[in-house]
Amino acid sequence: MGSLAEVLYLSRHDVEKLSIRMKEVIQVVEKAFREKTEGRTEAPPKPGIHPQKDAFIHAMPAYIPKMRSAGVKWVSGFPETPRRGLPYISGLLILSDTETGFPICVMDCTWITAKRTGAAPAVAAKHLARQDSKVLGVLGCGVQGRSNLEALTVVCKNLEEVKAYDINERNLQKYVEEMTAEHGLKVVPVASPKKAVVNCDIVVTAGPILKHPQPVIEASWFKDGGFACSLDFDSYWKPEAMHSMDKFCTDDREQLAYYRKLGYFSNIPGVYADLGEIVSSKKPDRKYPYERIMSMNLGLAIEDMATAILIYEEAKKTGIGKTLPL
């Protein structure tokens, strides 16, 4: 079948080697949100299978015509894998040619998942956090705790301090050492979730997602004027804390509704706006310095495909990866 029947394979190492910067990922993710709001993307809610308790394998397809990016991410999160020394998240992403439908690239999706999930809260923070935000609270100091901090340093130029909390003492210490060295910020380990929320201008929760959560964050812990982003659904935030927000946003209303049908998010506020509406100014972003704003980020396939095409093009340009026959 000639050259059409070839795919570029990019291992995890290949993807990392490309050295694509967080700033670029934030830019393409923001662009993808704009395209979504104009109705120019296709991304049905992700179907999933669940081979273990609290584990998932999701299929996440998306098409962004303007970026000529079409593909699917097949991504899993298994809570027990870190105990075996393996990452919680693993998977593959397939990009297809938008004219022929032929697969053109298969890549490891660990890096993409880490980076685009950090980039989306940064896009949200750019519009919804106070510009003078100085203190960040991070609950869950794993891959997401790292990439969210990295992305927030790109958009929140006044960050000075990070209050970090993790139930695992070793993970917490490692995070404090690595993040201090990497970002030159004051990274302080704290001993309770409360201490990682009180007096923080921005709070990111990135612990495990639980179908039947036992949340601890109370409305009174969260500072007026704060911005919160949850990556672990409503596992950390009590309903009253979420209802105390002046603006409750999400990355995708449709997907939030879909998860509610599956039994998640039993008590959350009405959605003020999705991130696409915010970035394209269809809904006003932060209006007052004292507003309490939260974004519930579920993770969208358009974020993956916006980043994947960047990776594919960079790999072709630099000759990284291995060409395989179909």
Ligand X SMILES: NC(=O)c1ccc[n+]([C@@H]2O[C@H](COP(=O)([O-])OP(=O)(O)OC[C@H]3O[C@@H](n4cnc5c(N)ncnc54)[C@H](O)[C@@H]3O)[C@@H](O)[C@H]2O)c1
Residues that bind ligand X (CB under 6 A): 77, 82, 88-89, 113, 117, 139-144, 165-168, 171, 206-209, 231-232, 297-299
Q: Which is nearer to ligand X, 137 or 299 (CB)?
A: 299
The distance of closest approach from Cβ of residue 209 to ligand X in the complex, given in angstroms and rounded to an integer, is 4
Token pair of 12 as six digits: 């995890």
Which residues on neighbouring strands pair with residue 89, listed in sequence order?
A: 77
The distance of closest approach from Cβ of residue 230 to ligand X in the complex, given in angstroms and rounded to an integer, is 8
Residue 118 parent element (H or E): helix 110-128
Amino acid at 103: P
Which residues does 205 contact at the CB level (< 8 Å), separation at least 6?
139, 140, 217, 228, 229, 230, 231, 232, 235, 236, 237
Q: Nearest-CB residue to ligand X? A: 142
Q: Which is nearer to ligand X, 211 or 322 (CB)?
A: 211
Concerning whether 194 is annotated as a catalytic residue, the answer is no
Q: Which is nearer to ligand X, 69 or 235 (CB)?
A: 235
Q: Which is nearer to ligand X, 165 or 265 (CB)?
A: 165
Classify the phi-psi angles of 68: left when phi > 0, otherwise alpha if psi is within -120 to 50, otherwise beta.
Answer: left
The distance of closest approach from Cβ of residue 210 to ligand X in the complex, given in angstroms and rounded to an integer, is 9
Distances (CA, A) of 204 to 58, 65, 118, 188, 230: 23, 32, 10, 15, 6
The distance of closest approach from Cβ of residue 161 to ligand X in the complex, given in angstroms and rounded to an integer, is 19
Residue 224 contacts residue 161 (beta carbons within 8 Å): no
Q: Which of 36, 46, 73, 238 is catalytic?
A: 73
Active site residues: 73
